[in-house]
Structure 1
Amino acid sequence: MPASSETSEQIEAAAAVWAMKDRPLSAGDDAQLRDWLAGDPRRRGALLRAQATLSSLDRAQALGAGVHRETKKPFLPVRLSRRDLLIASGAASGLSAAGLAGFFIGRRNDKAATAVGEIRRMPMSDGSIATINTDSAIQVDMTATHRVVDLVRGEAWFKVARNKKRPFVVMAGLARVQAVGTAFSVRRLDTGTEVQVTEGTVKAWLEDGDKPAIWLNAGDTAVLTPQGHVTRDHAPQAIEDALAWREGQIALTGQSLGAAAAEYNRYNQTKIVIQDPELAGEHLLGRFNADDPEGFSNAIAVAFDADIRHVDKTIYIGKKN
């Protein structure tokens, strides 16, 4: 969506008004806020800054123009309602190597791997693009007749160049995914292989299995297990959220805090441990920078009145007494 013609000063002023509204927002205000945030990428950061400015308040009050508040309390992230937690935290992430790699992959038996916290977007020799998630590895075998990618571990998203004479197949354990001129992701799980289609159509099946292949269209997601069990769904928004990692973000759409911590631990050497079971069961909404476990943990501590301790490369979070 194109950016608005507002000046930075106008955006900051509007953000201050939104930050001072009572939470939870009414349904009308919530819809207006989401529309406003979607209108210009600068607005999310402006709202986050405005909320932080009001951090000394338990919650913001709706004020008329020209009202000014002063505080001598320390500068802290604002405590938000659980549903509003970091709604504006959509700034671009600084994950290492998130941009284009400086070389092509896709020659015979080429390999590529990422470390924890590293995301690579890599052009392939056939014109396709592979975006490789954290702690993942692929091996590519391209010939004049076929294009085969072995997902050794982790997850990758592929934008496939159209070439009907050279099938593009991704192998992930026993699972096989074939596409022509399509975009899709494949992730190896402990329980099987997950396939998510963002463009076009793919064919998925299990090698040596006795069940027929399935066809998945844009917006479809499926998990294939080694035992031959297949679950599938049509969930375009869920796929968009699940693939937020391509932008260095973690999208939470009602997941528990425990699940959010596990997701953060995929991307960082610094690990988050939720010590309180009740706190681990709290649910969150919002997008968060994947490379900032400290900032995420600090915001959680403020929002849920939790205790936070840093020990070496571990962040422990528990409910305060």
Structure 2
Amino acid sequence: MIAPDLRAIDEAAALWVQRMALPVQDSATAAAFDRWILDDPRHVESYARMAQLWQSDGLRQALLANDAPDTAFTAPHLPDAAHRLWRRAALLIPAVAAAMLLLIVAPPLLRDPLRYAAPAGAMHAVTLPDRSRVRLAPGAQIAVRITPWSRNVTLERGQAFFDVAHENVRGFAVDAGTAQVSVLGTAFDIDRLDGEAVVRVYRGTVSVAAGAGREWRLSAGSGIALRGGNAITIDGITGPHPDWADGWFDANNTPIRQLIAHLNRGAAVPVRLADPMLGELQVSGRFRLSDPDDALGAVAAIHDLKLRRDTHGVVLSR
């Protein structure tokens, strides 16, 4: 006989597995899940068992099989569909002992996030423990924490392209300061600038939260730029990955401060604006990031600006 408190934990774990298996999660749900899973070590154990059941071949076979009487198991009090699912899944509990291995690995992962960084002037590609692939722009840095129940990344600085390995249960979340992105499996790019975040989606669907109840759902080919309290949607995104991964910066009525930020990530000589307001001037075109002189020359010609060098680098001014 299962103790009442353990039965309640299993019921809650079953519901959380269902919720976390949705294509996208809102930030409130993700936060509530983190609180629940960390509240009691038994929550981790129960969730691991239920998650293993959810993804098991036996469960899929059970769901395809005809209904059969199974009075030996009393299912949790769940909605009808969930009730049937977990009543059948419970028959498979002896097959999930392997899930306990995850609990041995979890503690160090919780304590010590993995950090990856790209040096100035060079990109860096990494494969995460869950098989997701990340390409870091020059100077970018991420911190990664992957547990049996979640995959969380903090984009600490710079820009990164994420090709996320799809999983049915564990979501994949990226915190970029101004924006928080949640997915299950997709490909997207996040550019973290000073007080700004730009998200572009190349495959699948992502959920972007920006605090104060603001949230957007973006599909492939779209994006959003968040700066302060403003949000600007982006359309017409094409290709399998961002152009910076091939060494280009594509601008479409883009503030020149963004172009300069990208040039500075790989430039040997830093570029700065004599007047910060010049950064709001917009440019359109395709600029090679490895040739800052050519890019800055084009910007200066478009807006009738001047370029000069001093002991600290290149200055763009009126």
TM-score calculated relative to the size of structure 2: 0.52
- Inter-CA distance 169–317: structure 2 relative to 1 (3 Å threshold): closer
Q: State the 1:196 CA deviation.
A: 1.7
Cα shift readout 1:58-117 (whole Å, capped 9, x = no counterpart)? xxxxxxxxxxxxxxxxxxxxxxxxxxxxxxxxxxxxxxxxxxxxxxxxx93210112333
Deviation at 1:157? 1.3
Report the counterpart of residue 219 of structure 1 in structure 2.
221
1:116 matched residue in structure 2: 120
Deviation at 1:183, TM superposition (A): 0.7
Structure 2 residue aligned with 1:247: 246
Are residues 1:142 and 2:146 paired?
Answer: yes
Which residue number corresponds to residue 288 of structure 1? 287
Q: State the 1:257 CA deviation.
A: 6.0
The structure that is helix-richer by fraction is 2
Give the letter aligned to residue 161 of structure 1: A
| Matched residue, 2:21 | none
Superposition map of 1:150-169 within 5 A: 150-169=154-173
Deviation at 1:244, TM superposition (A): 1.9
Give, in whole Å, the separation in 2 of the partners of 1:160 and 1:116.
25
Structure 1 distance, partners of 2:169, 2:296, is: 50
User: Which residues in structure 2 correspond to 1:144-293 (within 5 Å)?
Assistant: 144-173=148-177, 175-206=179-210, 209=211, 211=213, 213-224=215-226, 229=229, 231-237=231-237, 243-255=242-254, 260-272=259-271, 284-293=283-292
Letter in 2 for 1:122: V
- Percent identical among aligned pairs is 28
CA change 1:219–1:304 in 2 (3 A) is closer
How far is the alpha carbon of 1:127 from its aligned partner? Answer: 1.6
Are the equivalent residues in 1 in contact too, given 2:225–2:234 (CA < 8 A)?
no
Aligned-pair Cα RMSD in Å: 3.9
**Partners of 1:222 and 1:230 within 8 A in 2:** no
Larger relative contact order (C-alpha < 8 A, sep ≥ 6)? 1
The separation in 2 between residues aligned to 1:249 and 1:223, in whole angstroms, is: 19
The code of the aligned residue for 2:216 comes to I
User: In the alignment, which residue of structure 1 is the partner of 2:38?
Assistant: none
* Structure 1: stretches of 5+ with no match in the other structure: 1-106
Secondary structure of 1:116's aligned partner: coil
Q: By how many angstroms is 1:285 displaced? A: 4.2
Deviations 1:160-184 (CA, angstroms, capped at 9, x unpaired): 1110222111122364211122111
User: Matches of 1:267 and 1:142 in 2, distance apart?
Assistant: 30
Contact persistence 1:157–1:186 (CA under 8 A): yes
Kindly tell me: are residues 142 and 302 of structure 1, through their superposed partners in 2, closer, same or farther at Cα, counting changes over 3 Å? closer
Amino acid aligned to 2:224: A
Query: 1 CA distance for matches of 2:175 and 2:282?
Result: 34
Aligned partners of 2:163, 2:120: CA distance in 1, in Å? Answer: 23
Q: 1:122 to 1:274 in 2, by over 3 A?
A: same
